[in-house]
Amino acid sequence: MTTLSASGPPAIDPSGLTTADIDRLRAETPGSMRVPHFNNAGSALPPQVVVNTMIEHLMREAEIGGYEAHAEASDRLANVYASCGALIGAGAQSIALTTSATDSWLRGFLSIPLAEGDRILVAQAEYASNVLAVLAAARRAGAIVEAIPDNASGILDVEAMRSMLDERVKVVSITHAPSQNGLLNPAEEIGAALRDTGSTAWYLLDACQSVGQMPLDASAIGADFISATGRKFLRGPRGTGFLWASPRALELEPALIDLNSAEWTDLDDYRIAPGATRFESWEKSYAAMLGMGAAANYALSLGLDVTQARITWLADRIRAELSQIPDVQVRDRGQVRTGIVTFSTSRRAAADVVAAIKASGVNVSYSPPDYALRDFRAHGVTGLVRASPHVFTNDHDIDRLLDAVREAVA
């Protein structure tokens, strides 16, 4: 994994992609020819095959009916489970298709029974949607929510977590690649610590920013649930996501069930589906699910190791260049960094800087404090500008971004 050294990123792209390869990737991503898009951590530009896949299914729905088009596409829909599983080294039977990473995460978390006095451990940089659900569930059950501190480099302190583990710890919830600080939490080390200590806590990993950006191995991570979205670095459509469930998690009864996740077997009885589909609902956009499958296949064909190498290199280049602009502070932490670059300036509020950059025709995004309140407060940050490149980002895009930043903070 490429990291930023004291001398900056490597001069040559370590992914092995050539200029011709980048031109092809851009041609396959029409939006990249129209705007420098640095909001892939929010909603990435999809390749054309994703758009075409969705349109073709929607046309079939219009031509023959929604249920009929669904039945016609049954084999291709089955392949979506396999493709999403391949992103994290897992089998199709352990995948549930959902409408977002939050939907996925909630379907896992809400299935875990909580009791008064249970402890729930969350990462310091945990995302608001997860924390809000945890706080609400803890309030209902009388459970206790505690934050695991970060270590000196800014990532979750695994040894501190070990010291917090006891028989009352029911859930450990970690955001793998937080959206507001560029770091990558040590997911595999966390799983190993839970196993080594004999903890029975349920381990949930929010991988919405890491799936599609880098290779993942569900078995090595050792989580009970891994949640992901289609719309971020995976480059699928909005309104899509998936949930991976471990064998242990497949013993849980979901909090939400319908005729897709269970079978009504008698007037007062039902049978839960045997695989991860127990965490699904029947009604969703099947055009969007096929689009997510196309995005997964596209990512797998390029190679997740290739994708990670290029994105990391591009992000490190941007960090190095931003650090040379007067009064710009790059805020990213951690020893291993992702494709999420965050920065601020004392001259203007981050929201105003984002508005100015977007007005220049470059897409970036704003990270407000309430998205990760504990993390922002701990570091005295009131808002951040976020730039997130992807494999199709080229030198011209970066030049446009840097020029826009210089003008915004001048």
Token couple for 101: 């990473």
Distances (CA, A) of 115 to 144, 146, 167, 228, 253: 10, 16, 13, 27, 16
Find the length of the chain: 410
Looking at domain 51-301, which of 1.10.8.640, 3.40.640.10, 1.10.1060.10, 3.30.43.10 is its CATH number? 3.40.640.10
**What pLDDT, on the 0 to 100 scale, is given for residue 11?**
85
Task: Give the integer Cα–Cα distance in Å for 156 and 174.
Answer: 9
Cβ proximity of 144 and 138 under 8 Å: yes
d(C-alpha 346, C-alpha 239), whole Å: 36
Among the four given CATH numbers 3.10.450.230, 3.90.1150.10, 3.20.20.140, 3.90.245.10, the one describing domain 19-45+303-409:
3.90.1150.10
CB burial of residue 87 (10 Å; 0-12, 13-18, 19+): buried
Report how far residue 27's alpha carbon sits from residue 394's, in angstroms, rounded to the nearest whole number.
12
Measured distance CA(3)–CA(335) in Å, rounded: 7
- Residue 140 tokens read as 């209902």
**Count of Cβ atoms closer than 10 Å to residue 92 Cβ:** 16
pTM of the model: 0.96
pLDDT at 10: 86
- Domain ranges within the chain, ordered by starting residue: 19-45+303-409, 51-301
Which residue, among 132, 139, 216, 214, has the nearest Cα to 173 in the 3D structure?
A: 132
pLDDT digits 0-9 by tens, 209-252: 999 999 999 999 999 999 999 999 999 999 999 999 999 999 99
What's the average pLDDT block by block, 10 residues per block, for the chain (410 residues)? 52 96 98 98 98 98 98 98 98 98 98 98 96 98 98 96 98 97 97 98 98 98 98 98 98 96 97 97 97 98 98 98 97 95 96 98 97 94 97 98 97
Tell me the C-alpha distance between 156 and 175, whole Å: 10
**Two tokens, residue 266:** 């008698």
**Amino acid letter for position 25:** L
The token duo for 358 is 């977007």
Six-digit token pair at 172?
A: 């450990």
| Structure-token match 């995302």, residue found | 127
Angle at 300 (CA atoms; ends 298, 305), nearest 5 degrees:
125
Rounded to an integer, what distance in angstroms lies between the CA atom of residue 130 and that of residue 122?
Answer: 9
**Sequence-separated (6 or more) residues with CB below 8 Å from residue 127:** 175, 178, 179, 206, 371, 372
Q: Give the 3-state DSSP-derived string for the chain, with helices as H, strands as E and coil as C.
A: CCCCECCECCCCCCCCCCHHHHHHHHHCCHHHHCCCECEHHHHCCCCHHHHHHHHHHHHHHHHHCHHHHHHHCHHHHHHHHHHHHHHCCCCHHHEEEECCHHHHHHHHHCCCCCCCCCEEEEECCCCHHHHHHHHHHHHHHCCEEEEECECCCCCECHHHHHHHCCCCEEEEEEECCCCCCCECCCHHHHHHHHHHCCCCCEEEEECCCCECCECCCHHHHCCCEEEEECCCCCCCCCCCEEEEECCCHHHCCCCCCCCCCEEEEECCEEEECCCHHHHCCCCCCHHHHHHHHHHHHHHHHHCHHHHHHHHHHHHHHHHHHHCCCCCEEECCCCCCECCCEEEEECCCCHHHHHHHHHHCCCECEEECHHHCHHHHHHCCCCCEEEEECCCCCCHHHHHHHHHHHHHHHC
